[in-house]
Structure 1
């Protein structure tokens, strides 16, 4: 009788594994509603940390990670698209979202103009459209002047949407003083 019971449990376990759909197995991320080409996110139902749709959401992103493959876009810059999509999808008006980012260190190259980027890496800057679409949303886009100079770039080498700050430290300090939360990945 013991063996039969174990066999039945084993059979039941097999049924549960193969017949019952796994949690999240069919869940896919998608883009929108703000950016249809960038920023895929998951819709989350029944969150335990509810969002206040009347609140102003202010964040400054510290972007310093080098993308090893110059043909790939910077995933941290793309995170700003995700921020917009997930919050607006969750009921926050896009007018209540206020974002900025500053590139420095290894990511300095990611805001170079198409000409400067292609001359250095032999490919088009994959971040050009990311930066353009964020600028159109009013995102503050900055480069650390110290990183820019240390790498031998000048303002003419940058995409037109990019502003030069004295340093990343300065940009981050000023934004945080103005109640922007720091997002550092």
Structure 2
């Protein structure tokens, strides 16, 4: 009886330790570009990593509306992941060129804090995301058609946000300049 109990105890102990070890290994971490956002997983034994000498150029097409106005737009924060992931994989930061265009339901994400708070009764949770991207050279655009349709003007926006004629115009020109389109 005691042998059975000991075996059971050791199996449970082994499985518990294995679970703890596995759980510890799969936690994403931030950095090296952004330390407070953009957590990514370390992946071993990769079969594909972009060439460190090739420029990575992408424009993110963001039109999704976050239902809860107090939660940041996850697609904007995915751009922080893009930087952290690729720089961690050996791509020099200066070889990464990103842009984003907000339109449709994402117009609210570009609003200045005072305008956002007046409309949604909370601070704009995207302010730091947009500021940090702009600070490293990401072009942040808002569709002028969506902005005007929503009843806003340029004075209602964060200072980092540029207004384009339309999201379609911005996307067309960037893709003509060899930026890959990323659409979630």
Query: Which structure 1 segments of 5+ residues have no match?
Result: 1-10
* Corresponding residue for residue 47 of structure 2: 48
Say which of 15, 21, 25 aligns to 2:23: 25
Note if 1:103 corresponds to 2:102.
Answer: yes
Rate the CA distance shift 1:110–1:19 in 2: closer, same or farther, 3 A: closer
Q: Give 1:56 shift.
A: 0.1
SS of 1:78's partner is helix
Instruction: State the partner residue of 2:5.
Output: none
Residues of 1 paired with 2:143 and 2:111: CA distance? 13
Q: Distance in 2 between matches of 1:167 and 1:142?
A: 9
The normalised TM-score by structure 2 is 0.89
Write the distance in 1 (CA, Å) between the matches of 2:87 and 2:48: 16
Within-5 A mapping of 1:9-158: 17=15, 20-21=18-19, 24-27=22-25, 28-158=27-157
C-alpha offsets along residues 57-115 of structure 1, whole Å, 9 cap, x if unaligned?
A: 00000000000111111000001100000000111100000000000010100010011
Superposition TM-score, scaled by structure 1 size: 0.89
Report how far residue 122 of structure 1 moved.
Answer: 1.0
* C-alpha separation in 1, matches of 2:17 and 2:68: 41
Q: Who is 2:169 aligned against?
A: 170
Runs of 4+ in 1 over 6 A off after TM superposition: 13-16
Local SS of the residue matching 1:25: helix
SS in 2 for 1:79: helix
Q: How many residues align?
A: 177
Q: Structure 2 stretches of 5 or more lacking a match? A: 1-7
Q: Per-residue deviation at 1:145?
A: 0.5
Matched with 2:4 is none
Q: Matched residues in 2 for 1:19 and 1:129: separation?
A: 39
Q: SS at the partner of 2:49?
A: coil
